[in-house]
C-alpha cells in the first residue's frame, strides 16, 4: 500500500507539471538549424532541444543514452560499437512528406550517423568544431582533401549497428558525441532540400523531444512537444517559446515577473534576483575582464609599449578596485578532457609590477617608434569608467607628458562588435567562454585582439594535434603565458554570469559542455 501511495502521488505531481508552456529569451534569430553548421547559442538552443544524437547529457553532466541503446569499446580503446534503438523516428511535417514521397522510411538508422559525421569533417561543410572530430580515423585527411569521405572511420555494420574507429584513444569522445555536429542527418532529405537544409522549418527534420513549430523572424521561435518521440525521456512541457531579447535588464525584469521562466544574466543584472530564495540560480564562472591591446593600432604593434602599459597596470592598485581579481585569462569553467583547467594548470609566469621596469619598457618603445609622445584611447563600458580613469592616472604618473590618453565610453551591447571590427586602441572588455572547451576559448581570443603571430598559431596547431591530457594542459598553459608575457591581454577581474529560473520553476538545466539550456524535464508549479 505504501509503495502504491508513493507511486500514485508521484504520478499526480508529474501530471500537474506536464503540458505547460515555457518562455525563454535568446539574443538573436538562429542563423540556421543545420546541426553540422550551427554555431550561435540561439541556434544550438533550438537544435539541442529538438534533436537527439547517440547520447545526451543529464542535469549532472552525466552521459546518458539517446539513440544509442548500448555500446562497447575495443581493448585498445580505438573502436566503439553502438547498438541503436529501433523505434527512433523523424518528425515529419506535411511539407516534409510531400518533399520525400510515400516511399520514405521514417526510422533513424546507422546510415544517418555515417552521413552526418562525413558532413562534419568535409571542408565545404564549414563545421565550426570540425577539428574536434579529427580524433576519428581519417577525418583530418578528409578535411584536407587528401582522402575520400568514404574512408572515414564511421561504418554502418548493419541497419542499427554503428561502428566508429579513432586515430587515438580519447577519454572525452562520448561527450563529443552529445554535441550538435554528431547528431543524425538523413541523406535523402538533405539532398531533397537542394541547399536549403536547416534554413527554415520546412527544410529541417527533428528527432528529439520537441519539434520546431513556428519561426517568427526577429521576434520568436516556438518549439512543441514531439508526440512521436519514443525515447526514454519524453518532454514534460507542451512547448517552449524563445523570445529574441538581448537586453539583460529586460530579461531580469521578465524573470522577476514570471514572463520568462529562466535566463542567463550578467552579474550586475542578476543581483536583485539572487538575493531572494524563490529564484533558483547557478553561477557560471565563464568571464574574465581585462585590457585588450589592439596589435593593428598605430603604436600598440610595438611589444615594448604594450609591456610598459601592462607592467604599469600591475604596479598600480587597479586590481583592488574589483571585487574578484583574475588569476589568469582562461575562465574557471573551462576544462581539458573533462578536467578543470584552472585547478590542474601550472602557475602562470607573472609580469613585473615594478614602476621602474615600466618606465624602462616605455623608453625603449618611444625610441623604437621614433616619437616623444604616445597618443592612446582607452575604451570601456560606462560602468567601468571610474576604474579606467584611475588606471589612466597611474599611467600618466609613471610616463608623464610622454603619454596622451583619453577615455572613450562604449555601450555594453557594442563591446564585442567593437573588438571584432578593431575600432579601438586599448579596450577594457570581457573574454567569455561560450562553452567549457579551453582550446575553443583560446582560439576566440585571437580575433578579439587582431593577433597575427606565428608563435601563437604554432601553439594552437600543436593543441589540435595533441593526444595526451598532459600535453594539452601544457600547451594551454603556454598559450595563456604567451598572451600575458607579450602583453596582448591583461586579465584584471573575473565575473560570474548567472543562469536563473523564475519562481516555482525547476529542472531547466544547462548542458555542461556548452551551457545551452535543456527544457526536456522543465517543471512549473501553479500557473499554466
Q: pLDDT by residue for the chain (528 residues), tens digit each?
A: 555 455 444 444 455 667 799 999 998 899 999 999 998 889 999 999 999 999 999 999 899 999 999 999 999 999 999 999 999 999 999 999 988 988 898 999 999 999 999 999 999 999 988 988 999 999 999 999 999 999 999 999 999 999 999 999 988 899 999 999 999 999 999 999 999 999 999 999 999 999 999 999 999 999 999 999 999 889 999 999 999 997 777 999 999 999 999 999 988 889 889 888 899 999 888 899 999 999 988 899 999 999 999 999 999 989 889 988 998 999 988 888 778 898 888 899 989 999 999 999 999 999 999 999 999 999 999 989 999 999 999 999 999 999 999 999 998 778 877 888 888 999 999 988 877 788 878 888 877 777 778 899 899 889 878 878 889 999 999 999 999 999 999 999 998 889 999 999 999 999 887 789 999 999 999 766
The pair phi, psi for residue 31, each rounded to 5°, is -70, -30
Task: Identify the pLDDT of residue 215.
Answer: 97
At 235 the pLDDT is 97
**What is the per-residue burial (b if ≥16 Cβ within 10 Å, else e) of 142-170?**
bbeeeeebeebbbebeeebebbbbbbeeb
Q: Are 477 and 342 in contact (CB under 8 A)?
A: no
Contact 298, 496 (CB under 8 A): no
Beta carbons of 333 and 436 less than 8 angstroms apart: yes
Distance CA 501, CA 255 (A): 7
C-alpha cell, 332: 574557471
**Residues whose CB is less than 8 angstroms from the CB of residue 223 and which lie 6 or more positions away in sequence, other chains included:** 46, 49, 50, 210, 211, 212, 213, 239, 240, 242
Helix ranges restricted to H, 400-514: 415-421, 438-448, 454-465, 469-485
Return the SS3 of 36. Answer: coil
Q: What pLDDT is recorded for position 527?
A: 63
Domains and CATH numbers, the chain: 19-262+502-524 (3.40.190.10), 286-497 (3.10.105.10)
Lateral strand order in the sheet of 161-165: 68-73, 79-84, 161-165, 154-158
Specify the pLDDT at position 286: 87
pLDDT, residue 17, reads 67
- Following DSSP, what letter does each residue of 348-376 receive, concatenated? PPPPP--HHHHHHHHHHHHHHHT-S-EEE
Sign (positive or negative) of CA dihedral 405, 407, 408, 410 = positive
Predicted TM-score (pTM) of this structure: 0.78
CA–CA separation, 240 and 23 (whole Å): 6
Q: Rg of the Cα trace of the chain? A: 25
440-454: string of b/e by CB count within 10 Å (b at 16+)? bbbeebbebbbbebe
> What is the per-residue pLDDT for 114?
98
CA distance 214 to 200: 10
And the C-alpha cell for 343?
Answer: 585547478
What nine digits make up the cell of 326? 583574475
User: How far apart (Å, rounded) are the C-alpha atoms in residues 426 and 286?
Assistant: 22
Predicted local distance difference test score (pLDDT) of residue 257: 94
CA distances (Å), origin 396, targets 316, 374, 407, 420: 11, 11, 13, 28
Q: What is the pLDDT of residue 9?
A: 47
Q: CA of 467: how far to CAs of 3, 120, 363, 445, 454, in Å?
A: 51, 20, 44, 23, 22
Question: Distances in Å between the alpha carbon of 49 and those of 206, 316, 333, 395, 481?
Answer: 9, 48, 23, 50, 38
Burial 253-280 (b: 16+ CB within 10 A, else e): ebbbeeebbbbbbbbebbeebbeeeebb
What H or E segment, with its residue span, contains residue 431? strand 426-432
Amino acid at each position: 500500500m505504501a509503495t502504491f501511495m508513493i507511486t500514485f502521488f508521484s504520478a499526480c505531481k508529474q501530471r500537474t507539471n506536464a503540458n505547460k508552456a515555457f518562455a525563454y529569451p535568446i539574443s538573436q534569430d538562429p542563423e540556421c538549424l543545420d546541426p553540422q553548421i550551427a554555431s550561435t547559442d540561439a541556434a544550438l538552443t533550438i537544435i539541442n532541444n529538438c534533436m537527439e544524437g547517440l547520447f545526451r547529457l543529464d542535469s549532472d553532466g552525466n552521459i546518458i543514452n539517446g539513440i544509442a541503446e548500448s555500446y562497447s569499446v575495443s581493448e585498445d580503446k580505438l573502436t566503439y560499437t553502438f547498438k541503436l534503438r529501433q523505434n527512433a523516428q523523424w518528425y515529419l511535417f506535411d511539407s516534409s512528406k510531400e518533399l520525400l514521397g510515400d516511399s520514405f522510411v521514417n526510422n533513424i538508422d546507422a546510415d544517418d550517423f555515417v552521413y552526418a559525421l562525413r558532413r562534419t569533417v568535409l571542408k565545404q561543410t564549414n563545421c565550426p568544431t570540425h577539428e574536434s572530430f579529427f580524433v576519428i580515423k581519417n577525418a583530418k585527411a578528409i578535411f584536407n582533401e587528401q582522402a575520400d569521405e568514404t574512408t572515414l572511420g564511421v561504418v554502418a555494420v548493419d541497419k542499427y549497428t554503428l561502428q566508429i574507429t579513432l586515430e587515438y584513444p580519447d577519454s572525452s569522445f562520448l561527450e563529443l558525441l552529445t554535441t550538435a555536429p554528431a547528431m543524425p542527418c538523413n541523406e535523402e532529405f538533405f539532398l531533397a532540400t537542394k541547399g536549403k537544409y536547416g534554413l527554415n522549418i520546412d527544410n529541417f527534420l527533428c528527432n528529439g523531444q520537441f519539434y520546431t513549430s513556428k519561426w517568427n523572424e526577429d521576434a520568436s521561435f516556438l518549439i512543441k512537444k514531439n508526440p512521436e518521440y519514443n525515447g526514454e525521456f519524453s518532454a514534460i512541457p507542451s512547448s517552449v517559446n524563445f523570445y529574441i531579447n538581448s537586453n539583460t535588464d529586460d530579461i531580469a525584469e521578465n524573470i522577476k515577473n514570471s514572463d520568462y521562466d529562466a535566463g542567463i544574466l550578467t552579474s550586475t543584472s542578476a543581483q536583485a534576483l539572487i538575493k531572494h530564495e524563490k529564484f533558483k540560480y547557478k553561477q557560471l564562472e565563464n568571464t574574465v575582464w581585462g585590457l585588450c591591446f589592439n596589435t593593428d593600432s598605430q603604436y600598440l604593434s610595438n611589444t615594448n609599449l604594450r609591456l610598459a602599459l601592462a607592467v604599469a597596470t600591475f604596479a598600480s592598485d587597479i586590481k583592488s578596485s574589483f571585487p574578484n581579481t583574475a588569476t589568469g585569462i582562461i575562465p574557471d569553467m573551462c576544462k581539458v578532457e573533462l578536467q578543470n583547467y584552472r585547478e590542474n594548470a601550472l602557475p602562470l609566469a607573472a609580469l613585473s609590477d615594478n614602476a621602474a621596469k615600466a618606465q624602462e619598457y616605455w623608453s625603449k618603445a618611444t625610441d623604437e617608434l621614433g616619437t616623444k609622445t604616445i597618443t592612446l584611447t582607452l575604451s570601456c563600458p560606462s560602468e567601468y569608467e571610474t576604474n579606467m580613469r584611475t588606471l589612466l592616472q597611474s599611467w600618466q604618473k609613471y610616463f608623464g607628458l610622454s603619454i596622451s590618453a583619453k577615455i572613450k565610453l562604449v555601450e555594453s551591447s557594442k563591446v564585442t562588435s567593437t573588438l571584432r571590427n578593431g575600432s579601438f586602441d586599448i579596450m577594457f572588455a570581457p573574454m567569455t567562454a561560450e562553452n567549457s572547451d579551453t582550446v575553443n576559448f583560446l582560439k576566440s581570443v585571437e580575433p578579439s585582439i587582431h593577433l597575427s603571430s606565428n608563435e601563437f598559431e604554432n601553439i594552437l596547431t600543436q593543441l589540435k594535434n595533441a593526444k595526451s591530457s598532459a600535453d594539452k594542459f601544457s600547451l594551454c598553459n603556454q598559450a595563456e603565458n604567451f598572451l600575458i608575457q607579450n602583453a596582448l591581454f591583461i586579465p584584471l577581474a573575473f565575473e560570474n554570469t548567472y543562469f536563473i529560473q523564475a519562481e516555482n520553476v525547476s529542472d531547466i538545466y544547462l548542458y555542461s559542455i556548452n551551457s545551452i539550456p535543456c527544457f526536456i524535464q522543465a517543471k512549473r508549479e501553479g500557473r499554466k
